[in-house]
């Protein structure tokens, strides 16, 4: 087993496993207990998509966490990967595009955003492992066999995803301290 070496993700996965809201974790003792029980099963940690792919290609992993776009790219590269959103749930997030008020290239920025959310572009990008799109028209334009359409267009799957909200510095520090404590005890 492998998970990303990331305190926030580790704590949030344990929150999901203990039936808690990742954005309002009420029982950190349960999270710590879950992670403590999990630690002996972790063979390695990954820090990048490349790390993960190397572990998977070498046959070092039976199960591992990974981002959906990375899983899609790994499958396209022929790695023996199946992407599953567990019945307990998964962590999700949304990327955003923004333009600073001070930008002197407002028109170019708007043109770029319009281009990147355009369904025609997204269909091409999705073939290379793009993340899921929040643009309903872009998602609908995908072919039926596209990874993001097969996996992430199912309302039952999406309902199991808890989307991250901003995390306070105080909570991040607590999660990091817990994660470092658990890794050091291995």
pLDDT value at residue 63: 94
CATH code, domain carrying 71: 3.40.190.10
Burial class (CB in 10 A: 0-12, 13-18, 19+), 185: exposed
pLDDT band at 131 (very low <50, low <70, confident <90, very high): confident
Q: Which residues contact 51 (CB under 8 A, 6 or more apart)?
A: none
Please report whether residue 178 resides in a domain: yes
Per the structure, how many domains does the chain have?
1
Please report whether residue 88 resides in a domain: yes
Reduced to 3 DSSP states, what percent helix, strand and coil does the chain have, rounded to the nearest 5? 50, 5, 40
Please report whether residue 134 resides in a domain: no
Encode pLDDT of 104-126 as tens digits.
999 999 999 999 999 999 999 98
Helix or strand (DSSP H, E) at 163: strand 161-163
Which pair of tokens denotes residue 158? 């999406």
Alpha carbons 87 and 147: distance in angstroms, whole number: 19
Encode pLDDT of 132-185 as tens digits.
888 889 989 999 988 888 887 888 998 999 999 999 999 999 999 999 999 999
Partners of 90 in beta bridges? 161
Give, in order, the Cα–Cα distances in Å from 76 to each of 5, 70, 80, 81, 93.
24, 10, 10, 10, 23
pLDDT value at residue 122: 92
pLDDT value at residue 7: 98
pLDDT value at residue 115: 94
pTM assigned to the model: 0.87
Q: Which domain holds residue 12?
A: 2-93+164-184
Please report whether residue 35 resides in a domain: yes
Please report whether residue 79 resides in a domain: yes
Encode pLDDT of 73-115 as tens digits.
898 899 999 999 999 999 998 888 999 999 999 999 999 999 9
Please report whether residue 33 resides in a domain: yes
Among the listed ranges 1-5, 38-42, 50-54, 134-138, which one has the minimum average pLDDT value? 134-138
| The residue count for the chain | 186
pLDDT value at residue 134: 81
Please report whether residue 154 resides in a domain: no
């Amino acid at each position: 087993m492998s998970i990303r070496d990331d305190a926030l993700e580790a704590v949030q996965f344990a929150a999901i496993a203990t039936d808690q809201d990742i954005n309002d974790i009420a029982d950190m003792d349960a999270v710590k207990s879950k992670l403590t029980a999990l630690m002996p099963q972790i063979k390695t940690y990954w820090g990048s998509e490349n790390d993960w792919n190397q572990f998977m290609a070498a046959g070092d992993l039976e199960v591992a966490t990974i981002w959906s776009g990375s899983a899609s790219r790994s499958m396209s590269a022929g790695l023996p990967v199946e992407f599953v959103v567990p019945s307990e749930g998964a962590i999700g997030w949304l990327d955003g595009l923004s333009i600073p008020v001070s930008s002197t290239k407002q028109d170019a920025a708007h043109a770029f955003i319009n281009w990147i959310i355009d369904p025609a572009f997204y269909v091409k990008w999705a073939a290379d492992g793009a993340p899921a799109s929040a643009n309903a028209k872009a998602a609908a334009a995908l072919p039926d066999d596209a990874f993001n359409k097969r996996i992430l267009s199912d309302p039952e799957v999406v309902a199991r995803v808890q989307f991250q909200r901003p995390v306070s510095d105080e909570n991040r520090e607590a999660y990091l301290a817990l994660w470092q404590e658990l890794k050091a005890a291995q």
